[in-house]
Structure 1
């Protein structure tokens, strides 16, 4: 089989990765729009609230939060600043190590997260169902769902 730079064989790692990225972009767009429209928060803010809400004491080191949601240090600092301005979280210094900065969820942040959880789950399922009907993405969706 001959290929050009624009047509990779379906079994290649690049073609597989391309389908994953296409699926990711489609689902993220739908999730982001729903979070913003229905709950007034971006997708990164939702994910930060989720990680903070799931943390045993409702707080995470800023670097750990950045790693969990896939952001750099400066991006997570701005994100927590937005959550702080909205009353959903705040920054706190570690009492034992004043260099350690934590993000801490507020009760209002927990409430917003709890309100948004069902939307996230519903939109995620709907987006995956829709993508699963696309012949180019059906196998990728099926593979993802078969691992859970």
Structure 2
């Protein structure tokens, strides 16, 4: 398989799975996929906080998009901002207890829909080999 063909399959699979995850999280929990991913990263971070740039790197969004994302999470009471005590220019986003509760409640939906989407994709000849490779034990 050429690199281009493999990449096309990955993009197709990624788009399909992302769409299903987004739809389910929005419908069942009222949050978007990026919000869920940010809450996951924050819930696993030391003291539940990350610098904005760290969060940006971890969830694959640019700085401007992460700023808007964090503003949405703050407006819902799921995160709050904090200044770095050593460097007042450093801004952290911190998950709240409400944010942890939303993340914990949405996690089974995320994992279930992810598995269902990959199961469905495994029967599609256009991406089946990729799904098989991704699910192979190392």
Which position in structure 1 is the counterpart of 2:69? 79
Which position in structure 1 is the counterpart of 2:40? 50
Taking structure 2 as the reference length, the TM-score comes to: 0.98
Q: State the 1:147 CA deviation.
A: 4.3
CA distance in 2, matches of 1:19, 1:146: 17
Larger RCO of the pair (alpha carbons < 8 Å, separation 6+): 2
Q: Structure 1 stretches of 5 or more lacking a match?
A: 1-10
Q: State the 1:56 CA deviation.
A: 2.1
Moved over 6 A (4+): none
CA distance in 2, matches of 1:111, 1:103: 17
Q: Structure 2 stretches of 5 or more lacking a match?
A: none
Taking structure 1 as the reference length, the TM-score comes to: 0.92
Higher gyration radius (CA): 1
Which has a greater percent of helix?
2
Trace 1:46-125 onto structure 2 (pairs within 5 A).
46-125=36-115
What number of residue pairs does the alignment pair up? 138
